[in-house]
Amino acid sequence: MGATLVWLRRDLRLGDQPALAAAAERGEPVIPVFIHAPEEEAPWEPGAASNWWLHHSLERLGASLENRGSCLIRRRGASLDTLRALIRETGADTVFWNRLYEPAVIRRDTAIKKALRTEGLTATSFNAALLHEPWRIATGTGGPYKVFSPFWKTCRAQGIDFAPAITPERLAAPERWPHSESLASLGLLPRTRWDQGLRETWTPGEDGALARLEGFIDATVQDYGKTRERPDQDGTSRLSPHLHFGEISPRQIVRALQEAGLGLEAGGAEHFVRELGWREFGHHLLYHFPHTTDAPLNPRFEHFPWRESPEDLHAWQRGQTGIPIVDAAMRELWQTGWMHNRSRMIVASLLTKNLRMHWLHGARWFWDTLVDADLASNTLGWQWAGGSGADAAPYFRIFNPVRQGERFDPDGTYVRTYVPELADLPADAIHSPWEKRRHAPTPPDKYPAPRVDLKQSREAALEAFQTLP
């Protein structure tokens, strides 16, 4: 009797897990395998926050597999060499995995599938991460979309498959399990414990994902269209890291909304499903335009006169720009490994337009500090903010962070949470503490003055944009 290796990557769940379900249906031993090979994802190897999440997600997945009579085998090294070694050790004749869509990973997986098939093995991949895979959505002329609205209209016209893969209750075990390296040996946790805020904020793993989805449906989704723009409120799902690591699938989410009796064509549920569509759009663009991880989609921006200022970049990274809503957002990121989407747009606008620094500086910082760092979403968001990507913000759309703060954090709750130096300022002064107001206390000396004049830097950015060919 042969065996099936199920090569796990960012599909760390048992529910709606196509590769695992297909392996269980064969009736032969199933050997779940995780191979730690971050260098194969270069130049975008996972960052520190991602590794923190991965450690805990693997820990919980291992426990879940043990409850089903199985075991998670952990190895490190080159993926193809490791798979070949496991095939020799176990007598496996089949390897299943779920697809990923980053350029480097596609190249690796394509080569591995070809090599295994050449050696006489069955090697099959499945879709576990998307509602619509990138090559299945095309314009009327057969090309990729560059604008979201028609892209999503086409996705909706194709429909959504609500039927998840069957979750196996038990997995057939081999007579003898191959050696597994310890989770600690993968070196995913930080050597210095900066992760207290992450531990207080998140519960990685499939159970954590399902609990967060349930709470979102019960308490938040009905008002999502109204509250999703407010960083001062708990109005979003915070499912993005769970989606990135495959602890839950978008199909499971849409099905849960449907089973809760929420209409997907209107109201909060429609707004939320549309956000899933934006995630799909990011993968669509990354697949068709793989160079955009490091280069602008719009080639005109190859000639943009970006500034270089290590001091300004450091101040932005540490939440010391002197712009309260920006500093609150950057400190939220540092403390929790996450940032509200409205805040992401505000801080990106300040970096790329007021400070006029290359969007890659921001993309790389987010990549290292976000627990939901996803190459497709990160690339889409930063190219949008910088004006160089698909469906991008026009060059003249430069957020005024003071107005943004007053609109989306009107009472100053968000700023007070993450910038406690300003906690005593009244709401009408907290977003612009440098402005003199007779009734407001003087801002504390330990809070910095703005590093940039918002009006002058806006004008300078517009002048710079006008120089593009």
Helix (H) or strand (E) holding 315: helix 310-317
Q: How far from 362 is each of 12, 98, 344, 369, 457, CA to CA, in Å?
A: 28, 30, 10, 11, 18
Burial label, 252 (beta-carbon count in 10 A; 0-12, 13-18, 19+): buried
Q: What is the CA radius of gyration of the chain?
A: 23
User: Do the beta carbons of residue 90 and residue 3 sit within 8 Å?
Assistant: yes
| Residues whose CB is less than 8 angstroms from the CB of residue 63 and which lie 6 or more positions away in sequence, other chains included | none
Residues 35 and 82 sit within 8 Å (Cβ to Cβ):
yes
Burial of 352 from C-beta contacts in 10 A (0-12 / 13-18 / 19+)? buried
Q: How far apart are CA 109 and CA 83, in angstroms?
A: 12
The rounded distance, in Å, linking the Cα atoms of 392 and 401 is 19
Dist. CA 128–CA 132, nearest whole Å: 10
Q: Among 372, 354, 196, 349, which Cα is nearest to 362's?
A: 349
Residues 436 and 355: their CA atoms lie apart, in Å, by 24
CB 279 within 8 A of CB 151: no
- Do residues 272 and 224 make contact, with C-beta atoms less than 8 angstroms apart? yes
Structure tokens at 385: 């903010």
Closest by CA position to 455, among listed 398, 370, 410, 412: 398
Taking each continuous run of H as one helix and of E as one strand, the counts in the chain are 19, 5
Active site residues: 275, 278, 306, 341, 359, 382
Structure tokens belonging to residue 351: 């970096």
Query: 32 by DSSP, 3-state: which?
Result: strand
Query: Helix/strand/coil (H, E, C) string of 157-184?
Result: HHCCCCCCCCCCCCCCCCCCCCCCCCCH
Peptide bond into 443 cis (omega under 30): no
Q: Do 390 and 287 contact (CB within 8 A), yes or no?
A: no
Alpha-carbon span 301 to 281, nearest angstrom: 21
- Per-residue tokens: 400: 């005024």
